[in-house]
Amino acid sequence: MACALASAPARSETLLALAGITDATNDPSNTYGWQLEFQEPVSRQLDASLSWLNEGHALGHHRDGLATQLWLGVPVWRNRMEFNFGVGPYFYFDTQQESTARGYSDVHSVAGLASASLSLNITPSWFMILRVNGIYAPGDVNSIGLLVGGGYHFGRSERAPWGVGSESDGSPPFARQQIQLFAGEMIYNELNSHQDRTVGLEYRLALVPWAAWSASWFHNVGSTSGQREQIASQLWLVDSVLGGRLSFSAGVGVYTPLGAQPPGQESSAALSGLSGLRVEWCWSRNSSVMMTWYRSFTNDDDDRDIITLGYGLRFGG
């Protein structure tokens, strides 16, 4: 995926959002579903995509996750309409109901995702889309999703020549270092979705135009576990448009609590995985606002969603 994004030709990226219904094989009734996706061109007819897919609340299952797909596009009807067929892995997190003292388990696995889309261009940039997703998850629930939505094609002139941002007037690129102050909500992946508030600080360094590294500190304001401090380290894949003012990032790394486990508390994992999706808007050369959706995943049924809004300040060379 990283190689595809780094070597793609100068064709338009695409951002789209969809919502609809999900039909799971274990549930006689339908539930909701939604998907956010970013596509990057690989060749004239092939695109690579990165998306977050939520399959709603099927019977005994709350499943969502990260999907990567390779897409084949077939233009029709004066190039205003296009059929697209995509396939790829779906790395999912499934909170499953169980008849245990805890009452649930957080299952992590990989499924196959096959999709078919029909899109209609309304303007040169905006389009409408109809999509069918088929998910095959061995040992888990299979599902079919029917989603509708819209999207935006970024033109060639809107693409940033550097992942860390640069302007078309010949001025130097944005600074490579950044400090972010953030606040948000931590949502535990339980059947009742218990929430805590969180605040924190992040240092981020652009390594190359399309990749960055970050170190983060989280303070969970309302946590009752006694371990309120966590730290994290992540590597990020970055792409920018609109002359570097708008950027999209996908990250993966590790997440760990600070301090000893309080007496009487149920033991928790010393090290967890941490994925993240981020949208950042640079409203001046050195200042930006960003929204980040983290997902921590463990082997002890203590997964969490962390959704934050932050202010970033760039500095240094």
pLDDT value of residue 189 = 83
pLDDT value of residue 1 = 46
pLDDT value of residue 4 = 44
Residue 315 has pLDDT above 60, yes or no: yes
Pairwise CA distance, residues 134 & 143, whole Å: 6
Residue 121 has pLDDT above 50, yes or no: yes
Residue 98 has pLDDT above 90, yes or no: no
Taking residues 143-158, what's their average pLDDT?
Answer: 86
Residue 42 has pLDDT above 80, yes or no: yes
- Phi, psi (rounded to 5 degrees) for 47: -130, 150
Residue 25 has pLDDT above 70, yes or no: yes
Q: Bigger pLDDT: 113 or 75?
A: 113
pLDDT averaged over every residue in the chain: 85
Taking residues 86-98, what's their average pLDDT?
Answer: 93
Residue 165 has pLDDT above 50, yes or no: no
Residue 163 has pLDDT above 60, yes or no: no
Residue 262 has pLDDT above 80, yes or no: no
% the chain with pLDDT above 70 = 85
Instruction: Give the domains, in start order, of the chain with CATH numbers.
Output: 2-157 (2.40.160.20), 161-315 (2.40.160.20)
Tell me the range of 207-216, 240-249, 262-271 where mean pLDDT is highest: 207-216
DSSP string, 122-189: SSSSEEEEEEEEEEE-TTS--EEEEEEEEEEEPPGGGB-SSTT---TTSPPPPPSEEEEEEEEEEEE-
122-147: pLDDT as tens digits: 998 999 999 999 999 998 999 999 99
- How many residues appear in the chain? 317
Tell me the range of 153-162, 208-217, 299-308 where mean pLDDT is highest: 208-217
Pairwise CA distance, residues 55 & 146, whole Å: 11
DSSP 8-state assignment for residue 2: H
> Are 38 and 49 contacting, i.e. CB atoms less than 8 angstroms apart?
yes
pLDDT value of residue 166 = 46
Taking residues 36-50, what's their average pLDDT?
Answer: 92
